[in-house]
Amino acid sequence: MEKALYIVLLLIFFGSMVAIGFICRKKAASTDGFLLGGRNVGAWLTAFAYGTSYFSAVVFVGYAGQFGHRFGVASTWIGLGNAFIGSLLAWTILGRRTRLMTRHLKTATMSDFFGKRYDSKALKIAAAIIIFIFLIPYTASLYNGLSRLFAMAFDLPFWVCIVIMSVLTAIYVIAGGYMATAINDFIQGLIMAVGIVAVIVAVILTQGGWDKIFLSLSQVEDPTVSSQAGVFTSFFGPDVISLIFVVILTSLGTWGLPQMVQKFYAIKDESAIVKGTVISTIFAVLVAGGCYFLGGFSRVFFAGKPEGGYDAIIPEMLSNLSPVLIGLVIILVLSASMSTLSSLSMTSSSTVVLDLIKPYSKKEMSDKKQVLLIRGLIVVFIVISAVIAILQYYYNVGFIAQMMGVSWGALAGAFLAPFLYGLYSKKTTKAAVWFSYIYGVGIMVLYLLYSLWLKNYFTLPAFWASPLNLGALVMLTDLIFVPIISLFTKKPDKEKVEKIFDCYRKTIMVPAEKVLIDEDEK
């Protein structure tokens, strides 16, 4: 009976996703329509597309369990950081300027933005290569946790779960492009928001209510973490410094991730930015804040580290819920995974076609052929990431696991500073951008070598042996290094830079940096 309920819920969910893909196929005929929805996407769709790309199953199953177990209820700060730094500040600081400058430069990808903003084809190619290399393992990590939830409900093999999710995601993305993705993200986002609130309430009630679950958590002691009593219910938890670094990486890091900032390319108008900022922030408070708050009670269920690893924590916490709620959780995790998978696959495939294949094609590539190639590469990208996830799961390949861990830090470390300063500063130089690429990727690759090989010869302090802490440090220091290097390296062509920044000075009744206006508007 329970399996029948889960199957019905999944059929409704999958059926609606695929139907939306085919309904939107007419809007995906051109490159601009397929990738950006014609730059005419409203507040609700853009805000939910941003949020669902941000919060994948990795957050719900992996990070919520891991950091909740490590920091207690103080892990909620991570979710709040995601909301107010990763969403509110990101929309406020990046949203309007990104939409204006990318429209002005006629760019559809982050790597093309770097090429045109800094007048360098080499920077564009390097960025495209970095994006493709590091988005694949990052995408593969989305499948983490799915096996445990599906095993709990259906007893299905891991590879079957991956194949089902991959095929259905590919269908609606290929058919309907960005608009289908955005509409599905909206539906999936609603499921995520409602689901996480319902699950939190249910889990607390299974432990006797609010007071009892906090009392139980306050009595948990772990001398390997802290000698302080009740540390897992304290305001900042047992390790405030590590907590801050996790907040920085998972919040500020989104400012440099291509699949996140490209959502701003498609915003319709000024009112969509204002509304989208509020909607995105509220969504993040509910979903991210809720996930980490739930994970904070993990030690009520596991005094020590669970045998199945951190990914086993959340599924175990939910295993005694009603069949209806478990079904909702399955849809929730699928929603989180599919929305992020669709965003990452579109980002990577469009980058390869527009920035690596098209510029070096011997024949002029028509708009129709570009869309066809992007669709084909979406399939390739999803297949590769699925195969990597399966190999990692069944054969426990250390290199793949470590690549998944360093991907976020490498991408954000390489791109955050050049992108932010590219929108605001006329003085940022090509040399400084090259440094950011090499520094961000280089440090994380060195960490990868250390984790796989060099740790046999020397040991880093525990704090710096974490890719999360290291990634956060790279981002913060790069924000300092890039403007300093720009002071001492060859200055950009003043006339070209002034033309680029003209998009902010265009006036209607007020400066264009205050209200969006398209290039073709009078």
Q: What is the mean pLDDT of the chain?
A: 86
pLDDT at residue 522 greater than cutoff 60 = no
- Lowest model confidence (mean pLDDT) among 125-134, 225-234, 254-263: 225-234
pLDDT per position as a tens digit, 6-29:
778 888 888 888 899 888 887 777
Identify the pLDDT of residue 521: 52
pLDDT at residue 404 greater than cutoff 60 = yes
Identify the pLDDT of residue 517: 63
Considering the four listed CATH numbers 1.20.1730.10, 3.40.1190.20, 3.40.190.10, 3.40.50.1370, the one that applies to the domain covering 2-396 is 1.20.1730.10
**Residue carrying the six token digits 């990738």:** 35
Q: At what angle do helices 240-252 and 398-424 cross, to 10 degrees?
A: 70
For residue 230, what pLDDT band results from cuts at 50, 70 and 90? confident
The predicted model scores a pTM of 0.88
Residue-wise DSSP of 355-403:
IIIGGG-SSPPPHHHHHHHHHHHHHHHHHHHHHHHHHHHHH--HHHHHH
Rg (CA), the chain: 23
The predicted model gives 328-354 an average pLDDT of: 85
For residue 508, what pLDDT band results from cuts at 50, 70 and 90? low
SS (H, E, C) 151-217: HHHCCCCHHHHHHHHHHHHHHHHHHHHHHHHHHHHHHHHHHHHHHHHHHHHHHHHHCCCHHHHHHHH
Q: How far apart are the first and last CA of the chain?
A: 62
pLDDT at residue 101 greater than cutoff 90 = yes
Collapsing DSSP to helix, strand or coil, 29 comes out as coil
The predicted model gives 111-133 an average pLDDT of: 94
pLDDT per position as a tens digit, 433-472:
999 999 999 999 999 888 888 888 888 887 788 888 899 9
The predicted model gives 396-404 an average pLDDT of: 66
pLDDT at residue 516 greater than cutoff 70 = no
Q: At what angle do helices 430-452 and 398-424 cross, to 10 degrees?
A: 160
pLDDT at residue 211 greater than cutoff 60 = yes
Give 495's Cβ-side CA count (13 Å radius): 0
Identify the pLDDT of residue 430: 97
Q: Which range scores top for mean pLDDT: 9-23, 131-145, 250-264? A: 250-264
Residue-wise DSSP of 33-81:
HHHHGGG-B-HHHHHHHHHHHHS-HIIIIIIHHHHHHHHGGGGHHHHHH
Distance (Å, rounded) from C-alpha 167 to C-alpha 150?
17
Contacts of 221 (CB under 8 A, 6+ apart): 229
The predicted model gives 244-271 an average pLDDT of: 89
The predicted model gives 86-94 an average pLDDT of: 95
Identify the pLDDT of residue 268: 79
Identify the pLDDT of residue 153: 64
The predicted model gives 346-368 an average pLDDT of: 86
Pick from 314, 296, 285, 294: which is nearest to 82 by CA?
Answer: 285
Identify the pLDDT of residue 373: 92
C-alpha dihedral (148, 467, 281, 134), degrees to nearest 10? -80
**Residue carrying the six token digits 């793949």:** 400
Tally of CB atoms within 10 A around 12: 11
Identify the pLDDT of residue 429: 97
pLDDT per position as a tens digit, 281-304:
999 999 999 999 999 998 888 766
The predicted model gives 486-491 an average pLDDT of: 96
Q: Identify which has the larger pLDDT, 425 or 269.
A: 425
C-alpha dihedral (408, 409, 414, 417), degrees to nearest 10? 100
pLDDT per position as a tens digit, 423-438:
999 999 999 999 999 9
pLDDT above 90 coverage of the chain, percent = 36
